[in-house]
Every structure is written in C-alpha cells, then in structure tokens.
Amino acid sequence: MSNLEKFRELGISEQTLAALEKKGFEEPSPIQAQTIPLLLQGEKDIIGQAQTGTGKTAAFGIPIVEILQEHRNYVQSLIMAPTRELAIQVAEEINSLKGSRNLEVMPIYGGQSIEIQMRRLKKGVDIIVGTPGRLLDLMRRGYIKLDRVSIAVLDEADEMLNMGFIEDIEMILAETGPEKQMLMFSATMPPQIMSIAEKFMGEYEIVRVKKEQLTTNLTEQIYFEVKRGDKFEVLCRIIDIEPDFYGLVFCRTRNDVDEVARDLMNRGYSVEALHGDISQAQRNRVIEKIKSHSVNILVATDVAARGIDINNLTHVINFSIPQDPEAYVHRVGRTGRAGNEGTAITFVTPAEYQKLTQIKRFAKADIKKRQLPQARDIVKGKKDRIAEDVADMISGELHVDYMDFANELLRNNDPAVLIAAMLKQQYKDELLEESYSQINSSGTKIRDNSEPVDSGGRARLFVALGKKDDFNPKKLVDMIWDKAKVKSRLIQDVKCFDTFSFITVPFVEAEKLVEVFRREGRGNKPLMEMASEKKDKEGRSENDSDFKGGRNARPKKKKPFSKSKGAPKRK
C-alpha cells in the first residue's frame, strides 16, 4: 500500500487504509490533508471551506470511523445534510470507509416511510446522516436522542441556510451535549455560519481550500455566444460531436428541465430529468440510471443535482448561466474529478455577458470563448466513427454471417449505390450537412447566403474619462483604436459627460476592451468596465432603469439575526 503512504502519515489506521485502497484512493485531497489530523487529535472544532468534488465527505468520514467505538446502542455521530441525495451519498461513503467495524450507519430523510425508519432506530444506530426536517420529526416522536453524540457535522451548511433550515439546525444542535466535537463544511462563509459557530462550537479552527483550487485545472472551461432560441440546437451539436458524451446539463427552472429533456428524448438521445417535482422513488431510479451509464445525459436544476456524486463526467453544460458565481463553481466542480479531464461549457446570450464577467472574476477562471461546432464538423465526426465501426467489424469478422446475402445483393446492384441506400435507411438525413440549421460563430442563425442576422450581442461600457480629461467622442474612439485596435465602425452610441463616458460595442470587443483597459487603469480602478456596474457620483446613471442595484445603490437594511438558545459550549 505504498501509494497510500500520504494517508498513513495523517495517522489513519491500517484497517481504514485497506478500505481506502479498495475504493481506489491514492493520496489525500487538500481538504482531507488539512482536516483529518485535526479531527483525529480532537482538540478543536473545525469549519472547513470546501465545495462538492473536493473530497470533503472522506475528510470527516475517515475520522468518524476512526474515533467512534463499536458495539454501542446509541447515536454517537450526527451528520446533517441539505438533501436526501446527499444524505444517502454520505451514508454510503461512510459505510464503504468503515471496513469491518461494527458501526451502524443510517440515512434519514423525507420521502421514505417514517415507520420503517422508526423500526430501524429502535434496534440502535451509531451514525445518523439526515435532513433537518425528518430529524426533527423523529426527535419529537422520541426515536432519536442526541445527548451522547460525540461528533456532529453540518455538511454543505451554506446550502442548508439557503434552504431555510437554520431554525431546525439550531433546535437539533441544542439537543446535543456540550462535550461533542463539531464540524461544519461549507463552500461559502456567510455571517449565519459564523453565528452558528459562536453558539454551538468551542474553540474552532477554520480550514480553507485555497481559492485557486475552487475550480479544477483538469476542467477546460469554455463558453459559446448563442441566442436563447438556438441553445437547444447548439446543445445537440455538442452531444453529437463528442464520441463518448457523458454529461450533466443544468437548467434554471423545472419547466426548462422538462422541456430540454423531452426535446432531447424526441431526437433519440438517452436522457433523464431531475428536479424538485420528481418523486423520491423516481429520483432514485434516475440516479441509478445515470450512475450505471444506462443513460448518458442528465438534465437537472441546481438544487436537484446537489449532493449527487457522479464520477467520470466528460461534460457539464450550463444551458442556463448560473444566477450567481458560487453556483458556477459548484457545477464546474462535477467534472475533472479523480484525475479525469472534463469540459465545462456555458451558453451565454448577449444579455448575459456581464454575468459571465462576474463569474470569471469570482472563480478566477480562464473561461475562453470557442467557435460553435459547424454542421460540416459534426457530419465529418459521425462519418469517421461509422468508418471506424465498420473497420472494427471487419477485423473482428463480425460480418461473416451475412456474406451470402451480401454477395446476392451485389449481383443485382452497383456496390456504391447499394451502400448509399443502406446508409440512407440506417441514418436517414443524419449525415447530410443541409439537415442542420446553420449557426454562425456568434450564435446567430444564417439565412440563405446573406450576412448574419445581428444577434444583439452588444455591450454598454463605462469609460472613466470625460470632458474634464479633454476627451470628446472622436478622441475617445481614436484612443480605443490606438490602445486596443478596435475599429471605429464597431463603436456606437458614444456619449461623453464631464467625468465619464459610455460606448456600445459587440461584446466580443467588449471583453477585449475590459481586459486591455484594466491594465491601463488609475491605481486599482480600471478605465473601462461593464456599464451596468457604474453610476455617476450622485447616484444617477445614464439611464436609471438600466442601472438599478448598481454598485453605488444604497443597500437594504437587513433584519438582525434572530438568536436562539444554543447548547453549552465545549470547554
């Protein structure tokens, strides 16, 4: 087990090392390397900043199975998770880590018969992994007692807060004893996380995965500029051009998930859908299908996909751009895992370009623009794969049973005509370029042989130069050509005010200008930014209806955090 030496150095027992070797682990992830020794020492509580895909389940699961005692008839460890899927996944992971230890692990969640759960709890459980709602229900019925819990874990704590579980969490933790060791794992650190720490933790240490590790360098991150109405066509092209596509497609709403999955199914793709309206039984079937590769495409919402551990994904596709940058990090983290390369693709409409720039800054990611797959590329790829399949069949002599029939057909037909007819019967119009709608590189459908229809892919930029800097529209356009080589014909609607100006350019050029003039800025302030982020110093913008909620807008007052009585702190 020399390949597990780094795990051994963390203080892990040979029994657990054997389980890790069986699971194919080789070396600890950053969050595991930092967290496991601290937990095994047991001197401090821990807050870990880590998101899905970093190995955080093993980071707390390994110490739990190492620390807990066997043959007990009470709950020794409590793990809270935001979703049923994550609760099941964590329970399965801990079961695989415990080896031959006599530790009973039980997932508890809504959607499963509560009577079944009550009967099993009566027999005694060492480790409970549950969602807050069902945990509280069983506690009130007297089936779960937490006063002897020695290790409590909040997994994806920020997600539980977002889902409105904060009061449930506090009520559950208030029933635990003061001597427990407590851990919280969260992708972000909102104030409520720290409030829980103050109420229920003793002395704690914060362990963070370095920011640059939030998105894996094994994941190629690209985006396509595409009109909303063309997204589905582009999605099909991506799937068609990849020989072994195995991916997760993210949509914003349940209706979008159903529509995209239905349309893919109608085109003959192997696909399943996942969102909040799907029953637990159906959800389990869908997850099993995607994990077993019975289907190769899963269309899902963010919440429905949270906690589902799917390995070896080739693609994560943001059919709908995430609402916030953190959601992008969560999505992208699902590919490029376990040393496997993956690709994250984001569809960006003209109106969403500013959101893309915000994601780039937050994730510190180099998300590159790529040209859309063209019909000729897709058809060529399909033809190449057919030729390879035929060559494999011939070399493997899989065709010999049909030689007599083939010779009979050849006696009465021209060979080329015969093959063409059989290809037509098998593939219909799939191998004809004209069967694909033409889409140019800017995501705009082409009509006949005319120029591309303007997609509206333009961005309004704020320029931190104005009349007081001796600039007028002509001087501003000349400066942009001199610094960034953007032609004057691409620059429209130039407006110069006393201390600032506005211009409109295609958003490909906007990306270039923002980058060039970030380096040309004054101090820490760039000379050029997306206009919707800027107002004049009096709080008014060029068009207030376009700039509501800008950087200088007055924030709404937040209600003070409601304090509730916490459990005594561990001394």
Identify whether 132 is part of a domain. Answer: yes
* Token pair recorded at residue 7: 């795990």
Residue 85, pLDDT score: 79
Cα distance between the two ends of the chain: 39
Residue 507: pLDDT over 60: yes
Write out the H or E segment, with its range, that includes residue 239.
helix 231-241
473 and 366 fall within a common domain: no
* Token pair recorded at residue 64: 């739990």
- pLDDT class for 107, splitting at 50, 70, 90? very high
278 and 358 fall within a common domain: yes
- Other C-beta atoms closer than 10 Å to the C-beta of 297 total 23
DSSP β-bridge partners for residue 250: 300, 318
CA angle 389, 390, 394 (to 5 degrees): 120
Q: Comparing 215 with 284, which gets the higher pLDDT? A: 284
Identify whether 94 is part of a domain. Answer: yes
Decide which of 187, 209, 231 is a domain's last residue: 209
Residue 556: pLDDT over 60: no
- pLDDT class for 119, splitting at 50, 70, 90? very high
Q: Comparing 358 with 51, which gets the higher pLDDT? A: 358
393 and 526 fall within a common domain: no
> For the segment 216-266, what is each residue's pLDDT rounded down to a tens digit?
555 789 999 988 888 998 998 899 888 789 999 999 888 899 999 988 987
Q: CA-to-CA distance for 444 and 228, rounded, in angstroms?
A: 10
542 and 532 fall within a common domain: yes
242 and 356 fall within a common domain: yes
pTM of the model: 0.49
Residue 127, pLDDT score: 96
Mean pLDDT confidence for 55-65: 89
Q: CA-to-CA distance for 184 and 158, rounded, in angstroms?
A: 9
- pLDDT class for 542, splitting at 50, 70, 90? very low
17 and 144 fall within a common domain: yes
| Phi, then psi, of 342 in degrees rounded to 5 | -150, 170
Sign of the alpha-carbon torsion through 91, 121, 150, 158: positive
Q: Comparing 116 with 84, which gets the higher pLDDT? A: 116
Identify whether 451 is part of a domain. Answer: no
Q: CA-to-CA distance for 117 and 105, rounded, in angstroms?
A: 12
| Phi, then psi, of 317 in degrees rounded to 5 | -115, 120
CB 336, CB 354: distance < 8 Å: no
Residue 218, pLDDT score: 58
Mean pLDDT confidence for 516-528: 70
412 and 475 fall within a common domain: no
Residue whose C-alpha is closest to residue 75's, from 47, 38, 108, 114: 108
* Token pair recorded at residue 236: 């099909």
Residue 53, pLDDT score: 57
> Edge-to-edge strands of the sheet including 127-130?
105-108, 127-130, 77-80, 151-155, 181-186, 45-49, 204-208
- Could you tell me how many helices (H) and strands (E) the chain has, helices first? 21, 18
32 and 72 fall within a common domain: yes
- Other C-beta atoms closer than 10 Å to the C-beta of 52 total 22
> For the segment 434-484, what is each residue's pLDDT rounded down to a tens digit?
766 666 554 444 433 333 333 346 778 888 888 888 888 888 888 888 888
| CATH code, domain carrying 167 | 3.40.50.300
Domain that holds residue 384: 376-435
- pLDDT class for 54, splitting at 50, 70, 90? low
Mean pLDDT confidence for 344-360: 85
62 and 193 fall within a common domain: yes
Q: CA-to-CA distance for 86 and 80, rounded, in angstroms?
A: 9
Residue 292: pLDDT over 80: yes
Identify whether 526 is part of a domain. Answer: yes
105 and 130 fall within a common domain: yes
Pairing of strands 501-506, 45-49: unpaired
173 and 32 fall within a common domain: yes
Identify whether 558 is part of a domain. Answer: no
- CA distances to 155, 179, 182, 381 from 199, in Å: 17, 14, 12, 59
Residue 138, pLDDT score: 95
Fill in the amino acid letter for 1: M
Decide which of 166, 189, 209 is a domain's last residue: 209
One-letter-per-residue 3-state SS of 205-237: EEEECCHHHCCCCCEEEEEEECCHHHHHHHHHH
Residues present in the chain in total: 571
Residue 307, pLDDT score: 59
> For the segment 129-183, what is each residue's pLDDT rounded down to a tens digit?
999 999 999 999 999 999 999 999 999 888 888 788 889 999 999 999 888 999 9
CB 409, CB 418: distance < 8 Å: yes
| Integer-rounded Cα radius of gyration of the chain | 29
Fill in the amino acid letter for 231: K
CB 286, CB 272: distance < 8 Å: yes
Q: CA-to-CA distance for 86 and 57, rounded, in angstroms?
A: 10
Class of residue 48 by CB neighbours under 10 A (exposed 0-12, middle 13-18, buried 19+): buried
Residue 302: pLDDT over 90: no
Identify whether 556 is part of a domain. Answer: no
Exposure string (b/e) for 340-354, b if CB count within 10 Å is 16 or more? eebbbbbbbbbebbb
> For the segment 390-428, what is each residue's pLDDT rounded down to a tens digit?
888 888 887 888 889 989 899 889 999 988 888 888 877
CA angle 313, 316, 320 (to 5 degrees): 160
Residue 560, pLDDT score: 35
Residue 145, pLDDT score: 94
Share of the chain above pLDDT 70, in %: 82
Mean pLDDT confidence for 88-102: 89
Residue 521, pLDDT score: 60
| CATH code, domain carrying 513 | 3.30.70.330
Question: Can you tell me which residue has the tokens 């029933």?
Answer: 175
> For the segment 491-502, what is each residue's pLDDT rounded down to a tens digit?
887 888 888 888
Q: Comparing 372 with 442, which gets the higher pLDDT? A: 372
Residue whose C-alpha is closest to residue 181's, from 146, 151, 140: 151
390 and 368 fall within a common domain: no
Q: CA-to-CA distance for 121 and 571, rounded, in angstroms?
A: 30
Mean pLDDT confidence for 60-72: 91
Identify whether 516 is part of a domain. Answer: yes
As a 3-state breakdown, the chain gives helix, strand, coil percent values, each rounded to 5, of: 45, 15, 40
Residue 208: pLDDT over 50: yes
For residues 112, 115, 121, 127, the Cα torsion angle rounded to the nearest 10 degrees is 10
Share of the chain above pLDDT 90, in %: 24
Pairing of strands 492-496, 297-300: unpaired
* Token pair recorded at residue 147: 């006063």
Kindly report the average pLDDT of the chain as a whole number. Answer: 80
Decide which of 325, 351, 374 is a domain's last residue: 374
In sequence order, the 6+-apart residues with CB closer than 8 A to the CB of 427 are 382, 386
Q: CA-to-CA distance for 302 and 250, rounded, in angstroms?
A: 7
Mean pLDDT confidence for 372-384: 79
- Number of domains, the chain: 4
Identify whether 559 is part of a domain. Answer: no
Residue 219, pLDDT score: 74
Q: Ramachandran region of residue 274, left (φ > 0), alpha (ψ -120 to 50) or beta? A: beta
- CA distances to 51, 219, 248, 334, 371 from 341, in Å: 19, 6, 15, 11, 21
Residue 3, pLDDT score: 58
Residue whose C-alpha is closest to residue 478's, from 467, 463, 491: 491
Residue 170, pLDDT score: 92
Q: Comparing 146 with 378, which gets the higher pLDDT? A: 146
Fill in the amino acid letter for 459: A
Q: Is 274 helix (H, G, I), strand (E, B) or coil?
A: strand
Residue 538: pLDDT over 70: no
